[in-house]
Structure 1
Amino acid sequence: MSDSHGWAAAPATAERARSVLAASWSCTVTADGGREEFVGAHTAEEDGRVLLRVPEDSALLTAAICAPRGEPSAVLEFADVAPVPVRSRIRARLWLAGWFTPDGDRLAFRATRIVLKQPSGAVAVDLDEFAAAAPDPLATAESHLLTHLADAHPDAVQRLTRLVRSESLQGVVRVQPLAVDRHGLTLRIERTGAHGDVRLPFHAPADDVGQLTERMHALLGQAAAAACPRALQRQRTDGDR
């Protein structure tokens, strides 16, 4: 990250977990009846509960409802996949262990244990914090925002690399936007046989797309300012020859 950034705010663990849940389109459910993947079949409630619509003949339904009392009836897994093609596209995995109970034509899932696994490692999420947290306000729009940035504004992505320390760009073969949240933008720096991530924090949180546009323009302004000293340094070096 550039030394010019003093604020390195990032989402709290519970907020990150709720964002993964809010943005995920599919989930995998493991129970005694087996392992099934459901696409477009779940919704996340404000209190963190998950409502899942399953076929009436699903073995999962029978296994979940008939699970012995006192034991978790299922584990739900959600994968957070980077919308822009990059190496190692799985940014995080979220596991919820807990109970299913019938809720009309759906199953309601209440977690008793939550684990979020990111590249930095796996961490248990406090249940009360998870229930109280809200997903990042950009979570459901992130996929469109990042693909638009990568496809329509690759020049802007390249300009943003001026905010990255030069040693982090040695041997770089590609730079792509990896993630964005209200606190900042993360770039994936790919080199031959390796990669790393650099976070560019915003000067203030962005709570909607309009504010995000302003924060991105501010980053690009910082990138333009960062390019000036480098150009002056090159001029001085050339003049000394």
Structure 2
Amino acid sequence: MSAATCPEPTPAERARSVLAAAGSLTVTTRGHRVELIGLHTVDAAARLLLHNPPDSHLAAELAVAPKGDLATLVEFTDVAAVAVRERVRSRLTLGGWLSALGPKNLVFHPARAVLTEDGGTTVIGLDELSLASPDPLARHEAEMLARLDAAHAHTVAPLARLLQAPEQLGATDVRPLRLDRHGLVLRLETPGSHHDVRLPFATPASHPGEAVRQIHDLLAEATARPRGRHLPTRS
């Protein structure tokens, strides 16, 4: 299957996955820039709820806002679970307004969404964002990638045999970069650059256990192939 035909999540689905998996975010208003860690939730309609910390200035700034809401920029940074070159995989920026939701919570009303990844920027419609679902592996991806990388010699290195020879040209290392219901993305690093290659699953995985089975299937296919040229195995 060529790279052009490999199924992968849509930008809206990737944005929803970032929302679902992120443990922190940055909130910027006219008066403050606040980093919130473990203080937000996202509901089924992609509505962002902020749990206002006691020392946050957001509630105080909102209290004196002329119309009871506050123009706000919310930023999420998606960082690879594995230590690779250029570790930031994407950034999701939401523009909109904050308003109060009870005595301790704030609700963010998005007006625009922008996903930046691979050097490109995609504006995502709000209806598209609210209708999209996060990938079923999003909340488990970091742990699963870390486990794959820890077993590099037995998992990731053999998987490189599934890549075409031109894709391996000049590569000195291969690392697991992304995992979603459609497949696994490997990052191939050369001394001065890198490129990413997707290994598609035979069928989409609906839960982590099914993704593990699909990876085992890919491993079985890889180990059945002649070794030929292979990338160095890290200790």
TM-score by length of 1: 0.87
Tell me what 2:125 maps to.
126
1:102 aligns to 2:100 (yes or no): yes
What runs of 5+ residues in structure 2 fail to find an aligned partner? 230-235
Separation of aligned partners in 1, 2:14 and 2:80: 14
* Structure 1 residues 14 and 72: CA distance shift in structure 2, 3 A: farther
Could you report, residue by residue, the CA deviation over 1:28-47 in whole angstroms, capped at 9, with x for unpaired residues?
01101221111111111111
Corresponding residue number in structure 2 for 1:87: 85
Unpaired segments ≥5 residues, structure 1: 232-241
Give the whole-Å Cα distance in 2 for the aligned partners of 1:217 and 1:57: 48
Equivalent AA in structure 2 for residue 9 of structure 1: P
* Paired position in structure 2 for 1:115: 114
The answer to whether 1:76 aligns with 2:67 is no
> Is 1:47 aligned to residue 45 of structure 2?
yes
Aligned to 1:199: 198
Question: What is the CA–CA distance in structure 2 between the aligned matches of 1:24 and 1:69, rounded to whole Å?
Answer: 30
Runs of 4+ residues deviating >3 angstroms: 62-72
Q: Which has the larger radius of gyration?
A: 1
Pairing of 1:80-229 with structure 2 (within 5 A): 80-104=78-102, 105-227=104-226
Q: Which amino acid aligns with 1:146?
A: L
Query: Whole-Å Cα distance in 2 between the matches of residues 64 and 147 of structure 1?
Result: 40
Distance 2:201 2:125 in 1: 27
Question: Residue 67 of structure 1 contacts residue 73 of structure 1 at CA under 8 Å; is this kept in 2?
Answer: no
How far the C-alpha of 1:120 sits from its partner, in A, is 4.5
| TM-score, structure 2 normalization | 0.89
Moved more, 171-180 or 6-15: 6-15
Distance apart, 1:210 and its partner CA: 1.6
Counting aligned pairs with the same residue, the percent is 43
Do the aligned residues in 1 keep the contact of 2:18 with 2:78 (CA within 8 Å)?
A: yes
- Is contact 2:82-2:146 (8 Å) kept? yes
- Residue correspondences, number: 228
1:9 paired residue among 7, 10, 14: 7
